[in-house]
Amino acid sequence: MTTANGAPTKITQGSKTKGGIGESTLRPDGTLKVTGEFAYSSDMWHEDMLWGQILRSTVAHAEIVSIDTSEALAMSGVYAVMTYDDLPAEMKHYGLEIQDTPVLAHGKVRHHGEPVAIVAADHPETARRAAAKIKVEYRELPVITDEASATAPDAILVHENRTDHHIGHVPHPNIVHRQPIVRGNADEAAKKADFVVRGEYYFGMQDQAFLGPESGLAVPEEDGGVHLYIATQWLHSDLRQIAPVLGLPEDKVRMTLAGVGGAFGGREDLSMQIHACLLALRTGKPVKIVYNRFESFFGHVHRHPARLFYEHGATKDGKLTHMKCRIVLDGGAYASASPAVVGNASSLSAGPYVIDDVDIEAIALYTNNPPCGAMRGFGAVQACFAYEAQMDKLADEVGMDRVEFRRLNAMEQGTIMPTGQPVDSPAPVAELLRRVKAMPLPPERQWESSEGADVRQLPGGLSNTTHGEGVVRGVGYAVGIKNVGFSEGFDDYSTAKVRMEVIAGEPVATVHTAMAEVGQGGVTVHAQIARTELGVAQVTIHPADTQVGSAGSTSASRQTYVTGGAVKNSCELVRERVLEIGRRKFGSYHPAWATAELLLEGGKVVTDGGEVLADLVDVLEDEAVEIEAEWRHRPTEPFDLRTGQGNGHVQYSFAAHRAVVEVDTELGLVKVVELACAQDVGKALNPLSVIGQIQGGTTQGLGIAIMEEIIVDPKTAKVRNPSFTDYLLPTILDTPTIPVDVLELADDHAPYGLRGIGEAPTLSSTPAVLAAIRNATGLELPRTPVRPEHLTGKA
């Protein structure tokens, strides 16, 4: 076997302290990451390796008339040039759910930046030059960019001859999926409303903008297979899509997780995986591909932009009567996660409120815009932005305090969702709102100092636009609901292999899963779980690869729940086996072996009364106990395609935010002063990591509120700002203090009572910031991100 330089090695973390769950143990990969030695996918290196380059379409929608690769192939240093015609297997498409994405464009391109050809050469510059020499002739087609153009009578079909399982129930072939949800009778209930508010909202296209660009290294293996070192969110999902296109059985495609520089949903779909493998197999040499930032904007799916139409009603005493909504998500050229995004958007469209009578419809379109798919909180994020704006409007109509109005209508344990599913674990929505409101407000005019205004604390920041002129403070609140784990009947399981043995006189546990550590701290938590369950100080985290069963995706706030659950389960099975060995060896020496509840603690077998029965070292001696087992959460059901009814979700997650902003009302510039969050996490397995997740998710919500947006030209469907110069992420000067109040109400269905936490803070952050800006300016602001021209009437 060839090993790539920089391939991940086992991480061992020793601890004299207990280091179990509930403690803020430090990351096992922390030292490697601060010394620059942690090997990310773009750091992989192999002797003799080539560099891969992708040629992408320069237009959004066109027939490919011809492709001429001869000049590129003739270049010195070029080892291979491949197009659709060179694909080796019958299978030439891939996709998460619907295999509608060609590995390389065939016959036509459907979006700007679609891969058309790939090159391998001995230097990245040679590869770039060669790609530039490939001549592609396009015959441009009209672009489909929105619902009207997608469903027009003469609309060109983005995908002809669809055979996927959604085609039977969608009203038009340019609609990927449609999910209505009807419960009660919204029209009838509307008659009871004293106040009705309607709104049309727009949510812009957000980019995950993980800092580590798509990259990986494919190494051909002697058995004709390939070993791919890759940054991804789900190794086995990649594998399932890659192997058929290479014409290889899955066991000939080995995958090892390389260091992942953030993900946020953007690595759920394949990017350069197949291309690198194809080039490696074609050339017989290792091939590395690293996207640059420009390419990264085309290399992964984005957050669905959405148009949302809402109607809510309330009685004069403030009780919600009904809700009607229609959510139109733009899925772009390929399906990606669109069906699941539709499922989340529709099923969570009512928010964390009690509304008995609802009429809901969500659809995702096929268009020639950039493909959209998974991003942190998908579906729920867009809906939350709209329903929270509605709540403020309705509270104002009723004449109630905005927070009290929400609390009055807040769901709680036992509430029935629009899907008919009861919420069967704590849902402390009112309490989260109370807590976030109770936090002390930041002092006014913090930018004033004895030496004048500190512009760094004012809207505009270092750009010196105001010394206080035009600055108005605003405060806004929002709360949201997100499902945890994969829903709608998906078999959402994880696998963990746990091994226990004595090494150098000490019991050591090894945890091996295929979980993608993308920064969330899953590796930290796995070690904590193993310490808690197996009572050892030393835990080794094995690199994630496909030599163990699937761990599912690092998404949907599910990894600590599901793979954490799998690690816990496998640890319990190992513990039982160890205790069996102990009973066999020592059972006759002490009756407690047979009668007491036994635990593993501090390297010993102890009774629940604390009596030590044996050292693990003596129990195990030179025996190793290893168990690999799958673990799954409670099953879910699909939503009925007509009524949307069904127990589709496994768990819900709630967060509330209060935003305090200062707006330069003349220039339309915003400084977020504070973004406070209260979230129920069920059980904080690692409090430091929990808070880090909440603050990070909150900041991504801030980004889409005031600056982040991929801008697509509606006439050409081309991306206009694919760079960090014009796609702006919040800097440290844009990000406020983020006080976090963590509530821990156990969900009895989940391991340790925990609740998936990664996404909920991204939901309510955005509407809270928008509400605060509305509060400061008095403007309606129905779109996000809100830009200076929107705040000044100069759009």
**Cα(691)–Cα(687) distance, rounded to whole angstroms?**
6
1: contact with other proteins by CB under 8 A? no
The footprint of other proteins on residues 104-133 (CB under 8 A) is: 123, 125, 128, 132
156: contact with other proteins by CB under 8 A? no
Tokens 């699941």 correspond to 340
**Cα(366)–Cα(146) distance, rounded to whole angstroms?**
9
What is the total count of residues that contact other proteins (CB under 8 A)? Answer: 104
**Cα(632)–Cα(530) distance, rounded to whole angstroms?**
18
- Report CA-CA distances (Å) from 503 to 311, 506, 767: 64, 5, 53
Tokens found for residue 113: 């930046």
Tokens found for residue 19: 């280091």
Q: What x/- string results for residues 477 through 516 when contact with other proteins is judged by CB under 8 A?
A: ----------------------------------------
Tokens 């801030």 correspond to 702
723: contact with other proteins by CB under 8 A? yes
- According to the 3-state scheme, what is the secondary structure of 160-182? CCCCCCCCCCCCCCCEEEEEEEE
Count, in order, helices (H) and strands (E) of the chain.
19, 34
787: contact with other proteins by CB under 8 A? yes
In DSSP terms, 106 is beta-bridged to 108
**Cis peptide bond upstream of 739, omega within 30:** no
Contact stretch for other proteins (CB under 8 A) within 299-307, 561-569, 615-623, 688-696: 688-696
In DSSP terms, 658 is beta-bridged to 477, 676
139: contact with other proteins by CB under 8 A? no
Q: What x/- string results for residues 514 through 533 when contact with other proteins is judged by CB under 8 A?
A: ----xxxx------------
| CB of 618 or CB of 726, closer to other proteins | 726
Nearest approach in angstroms of CB 465 to other proteins is 5
**Cα(570)–Cα(548) distance, rounded to whole angstroms?**
13
Nearest approach in angstroms of CB 708 to other proteins is 10
426: contact with other proteins by CB under 8 A? no
| CB of 472 or CB of 729, closer to other proteins | 729
**Cα(734)–Cα(673) distance, rounded to whole angstroms?**
9
Among 331, 370, 582, 696, binds other proteins (CB under 8 A): 696
Nearest approach in angstroms of CB 353 to other proteins is 27
794: contact with other proteins by CB under 8 A? yes
**Cα(79)–Cα(77) distance, rounded to whole angstroms?**
6
Q: What is the maximum span of the chain, computed from C-alpha positions, in angstroms? A: 85
Contact stretch for other proteins (CB under 8 A) within 169-177, 246-254, 286-294, 479-487: 286-294
Determine the Cα angle at 531 with ends 530 and 534, to 5°.
Answer: 75
Q: What x/- string results for residues 213 through 232 when contact with other proteins is judged by CB under 8 A?
A: x-------------------
The b-or-e profile of 135-156 (16+ CB within 10 A means b, else e) is ebebeebebbbbbebbbeeebb
Q: Work out the angle between the directed axes of helices 559-586 and 522-534 (0-180°, nearest 10).
A: 30
204: contact with other proteins by CB under 8 A? no
756: contact with other proteins by CB under 8 A? no
666: contact with other proteins by CB under 8 A? yes
Among 57, 101, 338, 466, binds other proteins (CB under 8 A): 466
Q: What x/- string results for residues 225 through 264 when contact with other proteins is judged by CB under 8 A?
A: ----------------------------------xxxxxx
Are residues 518 and 689 in contact, defined by beta-carbon separation less than 8 angstroms?
no
467: contact with other proteins by CB under 8 A? yes
Among 58, 151, 185, 457, binds other proteins (CB under 8 A): 457
Nearest approach in angstroms of CB 629 to other proteins is 26
Nearest approach in angstroms of CB 180 to other proteins is 36
656: contact with other proteins by CB under 8 A? no
Length of the chain: 795
Are residues 460 and 669 in contact, defined by beta-carbon separation less than 8 angstroms?
yes
**Cα(546)–Cα(50) distance, rounded to whole angstroms?**
24
Cα torsion angle, 125, 127, 130, 132, sign: negative
| CB of 418 or CB of 758, closer to other proteins | 758
| CB of 398 or CB of 478, closer to other proteins | 478
The footprint of other proteins on residues 5-44 (CB under 8 A) is: 6, 9-14, 24, 26-40, 42-43
| CB of 467 or CB of 473, closer to other proteins | 467
Among 668, 682, 751, 782, binds other proteins (CB under 8 A): 668
282: contact with other proteins by CB under 8 A? no
Contact stretch for other proteins (CB under 8 A) within 80-88, 184-192, 526-534, 722-730: 722-730
